[in-house]
Chain A
Amino acid sequence: MKRLTDAHPPGPGRRTYLDGVRAAAPIGVAALVFGVSFGVLARAAGMGRVAPVVMSATTFAGSAQFAVASILGAGGGLVTAIVAAVLLNLRYGPIGLSAATTFSGPWWRRALSAQLIVDESWAIAQQDDGRLDRHLLVGAGLLLLVCWTLGTAIGAFAGDLVADPEALGLDAAFPALFLALLWSQVRERSRLLAALGGAAIALALMPFTGPGVPIVAASLACLVGARKPS
């Protein structure tokens, strides 16, 4: 298979961490504002001020954190909250597998780098041949981690001052990012099939399962590539 790296931002030579930071900057703004709203929501749900910030810095996975805060806030119980969050984050199993050969060095360094994987950093680091650029992933992941944690702290400690991310339309920014990055990935027929399969599986399961499960199941659509070694 031909490597089509030229579809990404130009520049001679290899990408740097700074390129990753730059690529993630627009979505970092959205992550910051959503971090604020998580901080506000978590505090209103009785999580206090420090726990939400600790959670953003360690769990670093927006949808799962929102699930925990809203379930605890609604009196839904500890086990329900934990199960919902783990289901939402299960997709990082297959996503982590796809990133496995991207990282190098001793085990603790690979495990630490893997913590910078979130949907957005992983999406930004995609190369058109299905491989990942480590510098883009780490740079983007670091920026998003800072934005998300800082936003949470602002929301938890300074709350109320801040705008509603949905009124700003920021919830539409995330699917737009994913669609734009998907676009450059599906020029090849087998990749297009994987995308259509993933979308179909997600659509079919959404009415019946909790959030999280459709994405994990959709990852199975990658098997269309199993017959086509490159």
Chain B
Amino acid sequence: MTAVWISVIVVGLATIAIKAAGPLLLARRTPPPRAQGALEHLAPAVLAALVVTQTLGGSNGGFTLDARIAGLAAATGAILLRLPLLVVITVAAVTAALVRLVG
């Protein structure tokens, strides 16, 4: 078997197991209030980390500063103006594309 297929199968099985772990382990069990409180704060913590890593991250780790920053700044403006999600995403993409076109 080639390295390609081994990596497809191993990474696939590992990812499937990681994704299924929580829903299988916590089955029909309501976590204690404190754990529940922590889990309800997971979304803002991880979403904020995703914003940071997907705006500033390079493909091999570290920072890469590029047109994504302009895209996110424009998106922030659109969010402050309470524009719909579709508009926010489009504004970010168009801004980043224009910056790359010019830069």
Which secondary structure dominates where chain A touches chain B? helix
**Which interface residue of B33, B37, B56, B71 has the most chain A CB atoms within 10 A?**
B37
A103 surroundings in chain B (CB, below 8 A):
23
Of the listed stretches A12-20, A57-65, A143-151, A154-162, chain B binds A57-65
With beta carbons under 8 angstroms apart, the residue of B20, B36, B60, B86 that contacts A26 is: B86
Q: How far is the CA of A50 from the CA of B97 in the complex (A)?
A: 31
Provided the pairs A64-B15, A70-B59, A215-B46 are in contact, do residues A96 and B21 lie with their beta carbons within 8 angstroms?
A: yes
- Are A178 and B44 in contact (CB-based, < 8 A)? no
A166 surroundings in chain B (CB, below 8 A):
100
With beta carbons under 8 angstroms apart, the residue of B30, B41, B72 that contacts A176 is: B72
- Are B40 and A99 in contact (CB-based, < 8 A)? no
What 0/1 pattern do residues 32 to 57 of A give for CB contact below 8 A with B?
A: 00000000000000111001001100
Provided the pairs A86-B11, A176-B92 are in contact, do residues A221 and B50 lie with their beta carbons within 8 angstroms?
A: no
CB contacts under 8 Å to B, within A193-223, are: 194-199, 201-203, 206-207, 209-211, 214-215, 218-223
Q: How far is the CA of A61 from the CA of B49 in the complex (A)?
A: 17
- Are A126 and B38 in contact (CB-based, < 8 A)? no
Counting contact residues on chain B (CB < 8 A from A), the size range is: 35 or more
- B98: nearest chain-A partner, CB-CB: A169
**Which interface residue of A54, A107, A123, A198 has the most chain B CB atoms within 10 A?**
A198
- Are A176 and B44 in contact (CB-based, < 8 A)? no
- Are B40 and A131 in contact (CB-based, < 8 A)? yes
Is B27 in the interface zone, CB < 8 Å from A? Answer: yes
- Are B19 and A117 in contact (CB-based, < 8 A)? yes
Question: Smallest CB–CB gap between B68 and chain A, Å?
Answer: 5
- Are B92 and A172 in contact (CB-based, < 8 A)? yes
Q: How far is the CA of A106 from the CA of B7 in the complex (A)?
A: 30
With beta carbons under 8 angstroms apart, the residue of A68, A92, A100, A192 that contacts B25 is: A100
**Which interface residue of A95, A115, A182 has the most chain B CB atoms within 10 A?**
A182
Q: How far is the CA of A167 from the CA of B44 in the complex (A)?
A: 30
What 0/1 pattern do residues 93 to 129 of A give for CB contact below 8 A with B?
A: 1111111111100010011011101010011001001
What are 9 A-B pairs with beta-carbon distances under 8 A? A23-B85, A59-B16, A93-B18, A98-B43, A111-B23, A179-B47, A192-B44, A219-B42, A227-B37
Known A-B contacts: A26-B86, A178-B47, A207-B62. Give 16 more (CB < 8 A).
Answer: A30-B89, A47-B8, A68-B8, A82-B11, A82-B14, A92-B18, A103-B23, A117-B19, A126-B47, A173-B93, A175-B51, A176-B88, A179-B75, A179-B76, A194-B44, A229-B37
| Residues of B participating in the A interface, judged by any CB pair closer than 8 Å | 3-8, 10-12, 14-16, 18-27, 30-31, 33-63, 67-68, 70-72, 75-76, 79, 85-86, 88-101
